[in-house]
Structures are given as C-alpha cells and as structure tokens.
Amino acid sequence: LVNPVFGFMARNGGREVMTAAALLVVAGTAWLLDSVGLSMAMGAFLAGVLLSDSTFRHQLEADVEPFRAILLGLFFLSVGMALDLSVVVNQWQMVLAGLAAFMIAKATVIYAVGRLLKASHSEAMERATLFAQGGEFAFVLYSAAVTAGVIDGQASATLTAIVILSMALTPLTTLLISRLSKPDSGLTPEDATDVDAAKDLVGRVLVIGFGRFAQVASQPLLAQGVEVSIIEKDIEMIQAAANFGFKVYYGDGTRLDTLRASGLEKAEAVLVCVDNQEATDRIVELVVHEFPGTKIFARAYDRGATLRLLKAGVDYQIRETFESALVFGGEVLRNLGMADVEVEEALEDVRARDAQRVDLEMAGGLEAGRSLIRGNMKTPQPSPYIKPQKEGQVIAVDPAPSDVSEK
C-alpha cells in the first residue's frame, strides 16, 4: 500500500503532505503494535523498514532530516535519564568489566568481518570503533526480559548502564582511533571562509568529486564552453582548486538535499567522479530514482564496480585506469618498432574483447569472460588418456602449392 499512497500524494499534494504522511505511518505503526502488547519502538522500527523499501525513500529521508536531529537529541536525553548512577557506583567493578568485555568482543567481531569482506585495515578499524557500542534495542529487550521474569531489576539496571556507557564512550574512542590512524586537518565549511556551500547552482553539467580524474574530465567540457557546476566535500581540495581557477562548492553528493541544491533537477548530465565506490553507488542510486531524466556518467574503480553501475542504469561508465593503460601499452608497441596501424588494431582488439567480457559478465558473473583474456602462459598440448601401443604414421601428405596450381 505504501507506494501507491505516496505516489498519489506526490502527484496531487506536496512535500509537506508526504512528510506528514511518513510521520503518520511511523506513529500509526507504533500505536498499532503497542495496542496488541508489543513495543512502540518495535513498531517505529518496522515503519522505518517499510518506508525504506518504498520508491520514495530518498525523498522521505531528506524530508525527515530536521525531525531526525531533534528526535536524536531527545533519544539521547532519555538514554541519559535511564542511567542509574547508584548502580554504577555500587557495582563499578562489574560495570567496568562488562563494559570492556562487551566493547572489545563486539569490536573484534566487526573488525574480523570487515577484513573477511576485503575491507582495508583502516576501514575495518573505523567500522569496529563506530559500532562497538550497544544498540537502543537493548533497552527494549531488557524491559521485556524483566517483564517476562527472565532477569530481575538489578540485572537490568546493570546491563542498561553498560550499554549507556558504551554509547557515551563511542565519540571518545572514535576520536582516539582517528588521531592514531590519520591526522585530521580539522577544517569544516564554517571554518573556511573561502568555501561556499552548494546552493541554487545552474550548470548544464554537475560534477561530483573533483580529484585528479574529474580535473582532466572537465577540460573538454570547459574547452567547448559547457557550463559546469562542481561540488566536493574535501575542504583542502576545494581550496587548492581555487588556486588554479576553479570554483568548487562544498557538498556531499550522497545527500538528496545537496543534489537538489546543486541544481541536478535542471542539469542535463551528472559526472560521478568520486574515488569511493560505495559513495558512487549511493549517488547513482539517488540520481536514478529521483532524477530519471538526467544522464549519468560514472567513474568505476574495477570490473565489479563496472557491472554494478551498468545494472544500476548509468548511461556511461569507464574504469579509471582502462584507457590510460591502453595508451601506455600502445606506446610500448610503437617503441618496439610496430607501425601505428598495427598499434591501433591491437588497441581496438583489446577494447572489443573487453566489451565482450563485460556482456558475458553481466549475465554470468566475473568468471564468465575468462576465455577472452590473453595470458602469457603457453597453452598445454592435449595428450591422450591412454597411450597408444604404436606411434602414429603419416599416411597422406598435402600437395605443395605449385602442384595444386598445376592441377
């Protein structure tokens, strides 16, 4: 029911009506579950899952942003009020031991999972630090456990104190890990007076991310007089670009409100040039759902990213090192004495094979196009399963070319 209802409101109402409807869905689901004896928090959680699966999720996420900030403040206020300081004082040894064991165990598991999923050490450490604390549903579970007689009130108060303190320590542990791993310049858009936030931009093309890739990609557009708007969230990059004649605005392309402020509704094309593939996937998803008439040109990191972008519906994608590597190989061939025609034929052959591989991989996965890769290992000659008793003998010889011509 969610998609048809919100679709009707989008056609006949406005953003305020959709925001009110989203809040009504959350409040109504919470009330419904509470009326049948379940938790209101569980109802709100289910409503969030319901709304996140709708086609209007990005619009709703942007609309409820102001409410989220207020409600988060109220949530942490209620969490702080739930802390029983007498339990912390009287059972400080139990609380501290439980806190250390809980956070270390959870962080270790998250770090191990991150590494197993090919995350870098720094990325896995960041995730482990951010998610080492307890979740808010612990309070719901402890309350239900007390009601069911599984634990007593004293145990619930102790466990609640451990979860609350783990939440309070998260900013400190995050700050400590960030200081130890990578120094932070501490610059924010508010601190940098020469950096403007993206607002009411009107470029024909929107460039998201202005690293080394986008800097080169923007040159042909600017050479032909195409009006380009650029957003970037790295303050130092924005300031450095200004020294070379670029006006770059501050903005996070993974946020729907930033894309609207950057004029994407009126832009003809968007160039997704960020160097983070997760951010690229998020931006492409937003643009496909919220700005269906905009052409999407995306920078891909590897073949896996290429396949994801094609399945997401981009108009054009390119692996960031593909063409430069081909030019590099072509120059090697020229310096080995090959003619330009031969070099171009070789490069076109590689491009054609790569395109065929992508088509096969779209249907059968990354292993589907292995046969089109040229390797430097010699292909082994086939050998019979059973060795013959006698060696083979030639019984007929093809005539020489001169003999054929005479005949």
Mean pLDDT across the stretch 277-282? 91
240 lies in the same domain as 359: no
Q: What are phi and psi of 219, to 5 degrees?
A: -65, -45
Q: So what's the pLDDT on residue 219?
A: 93
Residue 56 belongs to some domain of the structure: yes
- Domain holding 158: CATH number? 1.20.1530.20
Residue 254 belongs to some domain of the structure: yes
pLDDT tens-digit readout, 235-269: 888 888 888 888 888 888 888 888 888 888 889 99
DSSP class of residue 337?
T
231 lies in the same domain as 109: no
Residue 405 belongs to some domain of the structure: no
Question: Has residue 193 got a pLDDT over 70?
Answer: no
Report the b/e string of 227-265 with b at 16+ CB within 10 A. ebbbbbbbbebbeebeeeebebbbbbbbbbebbbbbbbe
177 lies in the same domain as 270: no
The tokens for 246 are 């670029």
13 lies in the same domain as 159: yes
Measured over the CA atoms of residue 39, residue 40, residue 45 and residue 51, the dihedral's sign is positive
Q: So what's the pLDDT on residue 365?
A: 78
Q: So what's the pLDDT on residue 174?
A: 84
20 lies in the same domain as 157: yes
pLDDT tens-digit readout, 302-338: 888 899 999 999 999 999 889 999 999 999 999 999 9
Residue 6 belongs to some domain of the structure: yes
139 lies in the same domain as 43: yes
78-82, 257-261, 365-369, 392-396: segment of lowest average pLDDT: 392-396
Residue 93 belongs to some domain of the structure: yes
For residue 151, give its domain range. 2-181
